[in-house]
Amino acid sequence: MRHLLSAGDLSLTETTEILDLAEEMSAVQDRPLKKLPALRGRTVVNLFFEDSTRTRSSFELAGKWLSADVINVSAKGSSVSKGESLRDTVMTVAAMGVDALVIRHGASGAPWQVTQWVDAHILNAGDGTHEHPTQALLDAFTLRRHFRAHDGGDLSGRTVAIVGDVTHSRVARSNVLLLRTLGAEVVLVAPPTLMPAGVASWPVAISHDLDDVLPGVDAVMMLRVQRERMSGGYFPTPREYTIGYGLTRSRLATLRPGTPICHPGPMNRGLEISAEAADAASSLVLQQVAAGVAVRMAVLYQLLGGADELPLTRVREGVA
């Protein structure tokens, strides 16, 4: 694997290898000394042209816990704010001899374009409304761990509802691709105004009735309403959106007992998800955050050749 640009680039074997390796990496989070020498001498640059808390922090921790040198560059504090182009920025950074660029950008396809300009490994940390592959991996990791703990199964044959602002969600697009690769069935639930053009060709079921879908799903993933990307009237009022598509207290009761609830964050409490649902015993929101570090450790390890330097058996043994 040279780059990670899309969840669709991952085969079932590659996805399973990353998730299995993430299970090994997650053990590092419980150790007093959270360090492995796998990427010692490697340099990773987090190049974020959009604001981020969870993704940027977890990529930074992932690199540092693997002993890589990690540098954070944001658009607000770089020459981008002076008018420098994306091409000049990434070529300048790459010229310093970095091994990997983790890129978040507001333009769909930007990480792919960067691969045409530099030789470094490129990881897509979110591009416009296109994709966010490591988010899909951590969501799959979290759900797989939940199902294994409760009934010994995995995601194959499960039905996952993805609910909300699908039009603007790169998380939804990556999850559709990855969940299908892992054998799950996906149901997209949203008002017609928040279903993207061409969705009928996606390998999913489509519904506009959340109350009809919820009782039959094995997991539900709520999406953030991305009001910062909305320039028109996608729904009449926030209250009407909540009434139609929010995971409210009353809807929480219609889920089968123990049905896991996911949300990629940040959450708009009271809009797409109620406080009762966000904080429910079956909510996996914080587990998703914790999984983000382990999954991104696994992805960096795979991309930067860590497997050649630190065999998986030594990760299990806790070598540091």
| Residues annotated in a binding site for L-aspartate | 82, 170, 224
Domain match, 215 and 280 both: yes
Question: Which residue bears the tokens 């996996």?
Answer: 284
Does a structural domain hold residue 47? yes
pLDDT at 301 over 90: yes
Q: How many domains does the chain fold into?
A: 2
Domain match, 95 and 181 both: no
Domain match, 139 and 95 both: no
Domain match, 153 and 41 both: no
Domain match, 145 and 164 both: yes
| Residues annotated in a binding site | 54-55, 82, 104, 132, 135, 170, 224, 265-266
Residues 137-159 have pLDDT tens digits of: 999 999 999 999 999 999 999 99
pTM of the predicted protein model: 0.92
| Residues annotated in a binding site for carbamoyl phosphate | 54-55, 104, 132, 135, 265-266
Residues 24-53 have pLDDT tens digits of: 999 988 888 889 999 999 999 999 999 888
Structure token digits, residue 200 = 């009928």
**Percentage, residues of the chain above pLDDT 90:** 83
CATH assignment at residue 242: 3.40.50.1370
In angstroms, the CA 3 to CA 304 distance is: 10
Range of the domain at 45: 7-131+292-316
Domain match, 142 and 277 both: yes
In angstroms, the CA 113 to CA 177 distance is: 21
Specify the 3-state DSSP secondary structure of 273: strand
Does a structural domain hold residue 255? yes
